[in-house]
Amino acid sequence: MPAESPQKHFPVSWDQFHRDSRALAWRLSGAGPFQALVAVTRGGLVPAAIAARELGIRQIETVCAASYNHMSQGEIRILKGVAQSIVDIGGGEGAGVLIVDDLVDTGKTAKVVRELLPKAHFATVYAKPMGRPMVDTFITEVSQDTWIFFPWDTGLAFQPPIRDGGE
């Protein structure tokens, strides 16, 4: 969890994440058309695959950014940029490109990715208040002090009731 120790936990199941990702695609269906999609790895890969399927987008690229480990967020590093052929869509700067990520938290990663494709449409499944201004479309807002546990980060385990100190 981040250094500031969030007070709230939000576990997301595979079913819920799939429904939320499809809801994002539904919302995006009126924002296109998009000629290409860029998934922000790693968290954006699953919702990007769902959006690409639902919106009929066949040209898919990734941008690889590293900032989180399972405990904290650090300095943003671009490990792999976007192909120039994607940047050039729509006359340059990513016009006509959809960027998809799982979450915008502080907005730091989104800011760095947006600089690569300033005219692209940026969408996330979940958004926190600090990062919301960096994205064009999202589905669910959670408070800044909430840590989202994505399905690929968790396993099935007993959860005590809230009244007994559970999350």
Catalytic residues: 101-102, 105
Using CA atoms, how far residue 137 sits from 2, 56, 87, 144, in Å, is: 25, 18, 20, 18
Rounded to whole angstroms, how far apart are CA atoms 21 and 38?
15
Q: Is the distance from CB of 125 to CB of 138 less than 8 angstroms?
A: yes
Q: Is the peptide bond before 58 cis (omega within 30 degrees of 0)?
A: no
Around Cβ 133, how many Cβ atoms within 10 Å? 11
For 118, residues 6+ apart whose C-beta sits below 8 A from its C-beta are 93, 94
